Structure 1
Amino acid sequence: MIEVTPLRYFVSAFELGTISAAAAAHGISQPSLSQALQKLEETISSTLFLRSRKGLQPTAQGHQLYQHAQSILGAVQKAENSFSQNSPRHLSLYTSPDIVLKPFRGAFEALRRTCPGLELRFELTPAAAELALVDQSCAPRGHRFHELVREPYVLALKKSHPLAGTRTLTLGDLRSLPLIERRYCPHYDAMRAELTLEDVSLTAAAEAVHDQQVLELVRLGFGGALLPAGHVAQDEAIAAIPVKHPSLGERIMGLAVRKTASANEMFRIWLSGFTGGSLSM
């Protein structure tokens, strides 16, 4: 008999493509998830995945089971929802000031589709949240960090700016350029230190409290900003120019998940809607 929990593990492995990602989505170890998949294959006497260094490749039987699993787990979710109508589900979230939500639209839509009536509550600190979108350096204790993307910092400028067509810049090229300050960024002090070493004194055009403000100020032409590349990808009004400097660095951004069954389940659903790899807008 097929059990629901291994079936959920299978669906995550099918959708995410690797054992490691599926295990992280459920908050279990990779060996535990591999063992569950093996038992599932034994139960139905079929091989579900071809395994390689590149990840998992579903077999024909894997595709067939995935279609059945969608119906089975959908029915289970519907039954669970019917008994919890009087007790709506809640999810507490935190997004750091250097995060914009638009690139994660698919992930939030997955929550809405899977958990109708889910109440989202945004917290003021990452430690208070079940799920926290943060830089790796800001992940709170008591949470496990799941890396989503690594992205470099670029200079964001309004596309009508004279420098917008430049292929690359150096830190020295920023000397006469008004920039929008982002003191809340975890890498702000390190960036300022690199500018000091290069004897670059910046002109502050504005000081923002979160990156959504920064993006709007850049679009309006108030100045430039050193921003994560994903913020400005495919933005028709903003040019993203690489800054050539070995120590400017990149950020490792991801989701910090509280170590509870409820948070793990919300994380699994959220991750199923995340497009991954690129945070293009």
Structure 2
Amino acid sequence: MLVPEQHPLRFKKRFGLADIENLPLIEWPYCPLHQSFIRLLAERGIALQVQASAAREELLLHMVDAGMGLAVVPQSHAAQARRALTRPLDGPLAFSRHIGLACDASDAPLLGLLHRLADGMKATAAQPEPTQRSNVV
């Protein structure tokens, strides 16, 4: 969670999924992770109070900094926040990504390389995470 530095919830150290119900949120509809997160909340019956919608990451960060609301963003984007505070979002968050690999079927060396790459990626993805925390803040 990105929390404005003067927001009353700035002292909360972590947020659960139920904690964000009816909080003033800024949505980021063009972020694929955000779309997955919204679907997850809808599946759990958690209602959102959307205050604003940001088309770009920079705009979202400025809106949070201005105190317009809180935002749920990938951890990698939270580092770009200037004044907003980041707080972990706990809970069973299951997000997945799909990667497609393609090559000409007659290119045997490349086809073999892609098979090895895909097998390695599957093995890496199957390994359990070191912690149960998500990469969403």
Give the TM bin, normalised by the shorter chain. 0.5 to 0.7
In the alignment, is the contact (CA less than 8 A) between 1:191 and 1:248 conserved in 2?
Answer: no
For 2:36, the aligned partner's letter is A
**2:42 matched residue in structure 1:** 196
**1:133 matched residue in structure 2:** none
For 1:241, the aligned partner's letter is R
Runs (4+) off by over 6 Å: none
Deviation at 1:241, TM superposition (A): 0.8
Alpha-carbon distance in 1 for matches of 2:55, 2:68: 15
Alpha-carbon distance in 1 for matches of 2:28, 2:82: 22
Identify, as 1 or 2, the structure richer in helix. Answer: 1
**1:243 matched residue in structure 2:** 89
Alpha-carbon distance in 1 for matches of 2:30, 2:65: 20
Q: What do the CA deviations read for 1:18-56 (whole angstroms, capped 9, x no partner)?
A: xxxxxxxxxxxxxxxxxxxxxxxxxxxxxxxxxxxxxxx
**2:29 matched residue in structure 1:** 183
Alpha-carbon distance in 2 for matches of 1:212, 1:249: 24
Deviation at 1:232, TM superposition (A): 2.9
Deviation at 1:165, TM superposition (A): 1.9
- Greater RCO, CA 8 A, separation 6+: 2
In the alignment, is the contact (CA less than 8 A) between 2:33 and 2:74 conserved in 1?
Answer: no
Percent identity over the alignment is: 30
**1:86 matched residue in structure 2:** none
**2:67 matched residue in structure 1:** 221
Query: Any stretches of 5+ residues in structure 1 without a counterpart?
Result: 1-154, 252-281
Q: Secondary structure at the match of 1:180?
A: strand
Q: TM (normalized to structure 2)?
A: 0.63
Distance 1:249 1:161, change over 3 A: farther
Deviation at 1:186, TM superposition (A): 1.2
Q: TM (normalized to structure 1)?
A: 0.32
Deviation at 1:170, TM superposition (A): 0.7
For 1:230, the aligned partner's letter is S
**1:159 matched residue in structure 2:** 5
For 2:70, the aligned partner's letter is G
Alignment equivalent of 1:231, drawn from 52, 68, 77: 77
- Structure number with greater Rg is 1
For 2:68, the aligned partner's letter is F
Alpha-carbon distance in 1 for matches of 2:74, 2:30: 14
What is the count of residue pairs matched by the alignment? 97
Alpha-carbon distance in 2 for matches of 1:220, 1:250: 32
Deviation at 1:228, TM superposition (A): 1.9
In the alignment, is the contact (CA less than 8 A) between 1:180 and 1:223 conserved in 2?
Answer: yes
Identify, as 1 or 2, the structure richer in strand. Answer: 1
Query: Any stretches of 5+ residues in structure 2 without a counterpart?
Result: 98-137
Calculate the aligned-residue CA RMSD, in Å. Answer: 2.0
